[in-house]
Structure 1
Amino acid sequence: MPRSEPFERHADRYDEWFETHPEAYRSEVEALRRLLPRPGFGVEIGVGSGRFASPLGMRVGIDPAGEMLAHARDRGIDVVTGVAEALPFPEETFDTALIVTTICFVDDVFRTVSEARRVLRPDGSLVIGYIDKNSPIGRRYQEQKADNPFYREAVFVSTAELVDELEAAGFTDFEFVQTICHWPADIDDPEPIEEGYGEGSFVGIKAVR
């Protein structure tokens, strides 16, 4: 079952996070932009309210939560209701697939990335942005998850675990970026964006079909 109920009930609260943490949000967008210089025809899987799809040039967004899709539609995204493990698109439809802060909510990571690969064109790219479970923020989110309606049922993954799933699905040619070294509420200026992973709590991976 998709973990969409909190996002249906608290869609406005979710969307307001980006207004109250603007520099953390901007840092995450810019980190992912480094992996997406020319997205072509792109889809965001788990598009949510469209906060990443819109600035990063994704034209299509899919999500199980209708209230979130309403926000994404208002941001100019062509929205589709559905889940990551069973994408309602033909094979080789998109140049780019994007998954941001969603991988911890899917029921099956391998099926999710396999479906992303299926709908990508040859040499298409999958970009995933997420909070690494072994990072300072990842550990804090896990410690406090019982108090957060969004993260209560989340299953965080490490970079090593995610790379294993991507390789098993057939992806290659990995690139990594990282940012967010401070708690989001304490960030007053854009965070540095570096290659690799292991220091920043927010990691971006680009993998090629």
Structure 2
Amino acid sequence: MVTVQPFETLSEEYDDWFETHDVAYCAEQAALERIFPETFDSRHDRALEIGVGTGRFAAPLGLSLGLDPARNALERTRERGVDPVRGIAESLPFAAGTLDLTLFVTVLCFVDDLETTLSEARRVLADDGTLAVAVLDRSSAVGQVYQEHKDESPFYADAEFLTGDAACRELERAGFVIEDRAQTVFEDPATIDPEATPLREGHGDGLFAVIRASPAP
């Protein structure tokens, strides 16, 4: 993945973002829970977050495995009860068809090779498995601000933000069928109103867009 260095050396600062922006974080977590399949709770032992970071999403969602190239971030993942796996999205250290769920949370904007990344996610999924993806939607009003100011962030300077539409197209090209979409965070996460974090269908207006897909037959 691109930009491993800031997530390696600034893992504490990255983790602190979720504390200082807890309203946005809770809204994002709720969006992911909304699109997860109803059967997920009974299948969590074969679930992987790719680009798990410090485990902020994998742990509360009940995922058992988290992969990331940043060693320091993985230490926090372990502390949160998620088994850490060091590696990159373009070469997953798992056999074909061995996972029931794979998750990307704002990670696709960092990978070196998006096509290979999604191909790998497809390879390791069981035929009846689920792929869940969250992107920072560049087409949203807040996403446009992120795009304009990304060079000011040690984490997003090298990011290639996707739109929700582009993410869906890439997933379909990689052999997935889109099943559900939702969005949240319609204001600046730093000043967001707790009463103004609804969860809506589709994508394009909210910064945090989530997509559920399954392998095409």
Which bin holds the TM-score, normalised by the shorter protein? over 0.9
Q: Residue 131 of structure 1 aligns with which residue? A: 136
Contact 1:110 1:165 in 2 (8 A): yes
Which letter maps to 1:195? E
- Verify: 1:94 aligned to 2:99, yes or no: yes
In the aligned structure 1, how far is the partner of 2:84 from the partner of 2:179? 28
1:38 offset after TM fit, Å?
A: 3.4
CA 144–173 in structure 1, closer or farther in 2 if over 3 Å, else same: closer
In the aligned structure 1, how far is the partner of 2:68 from the partner of 2:117? 13
Q: Residue 21 of structure 2 aligns with which residue? A: 21
Equivalent residue of 2:180, what SS?
strand
- Verify: 1:166 aligned to 2:166, yes or no: no
Q: Residue 205 of structure 1 aligns with which residue? A: 211
1:91 offset after TM fit, Å?
A: 0.5
Equivalent residue of 1:186, what SS?
coil
- Verify: 1:122 aligned to 2:122, yes or no: no
Q: Residue 82 of structure 2 aligns with which residue? A: 77
Equivalent residue of 1:143, what SS?
helix
1:188 offset after TM fit, Å?
A: 3.8
In the aligned structure 2, how far is the partner of 1:7 from the partner of 1:62? 13
Stretches (4+) displaced over 6 A: none
For structure 2, the 5+ residue unaligned runs are none
Q: Residue 38 of structure 1 aligns with which residue? A: 39
Equivalent residue of 1:29, what SS?
helix
- CA deviations on 1:131-164 (whole Å, 9 max, x unpaired) are 1111122211111111100001111111221112
Q: Residue 63 of structure 2 aligns with which residue? A: 58
Most deviating of 77-86 and 1-10: 1-10
TM-score with structure 2 setting the length: 0.93
In the aligned structure 1, how far is the partner of 2:39 from the partner of 2:199? 19
CA 38–55 in structure 1, closer or farther in 2 if over 3 Å, else same: farther
Contact 2:139 2:205 in 1 (8 A): no
- CA deviations on 1:42-92 (whole Å, 9 max, x unpaired) are 100000000000111110000000011011110000011000011010001
For structure 1, the 5+ residue unaligned runs are none
Most deviating of 192-201 and 149-158: 192-201
Q: Residue 8 of structure 1 aligns with which residue? A: 8
Which letter maps to 1:13? E
Contact 2:51 2:66 in 1 (8 A): yes
Contact 1:133 1:158 in 2 (8 A): yes
Contact 2:106 2:136 in 1 (8 A): yes
TM-score with structure 1 setting the length: 0.96
Percent of residue pairs identical: 47
In the aligned structure 2, how far is the partner of 1:111 from the partner of 1:95? 19
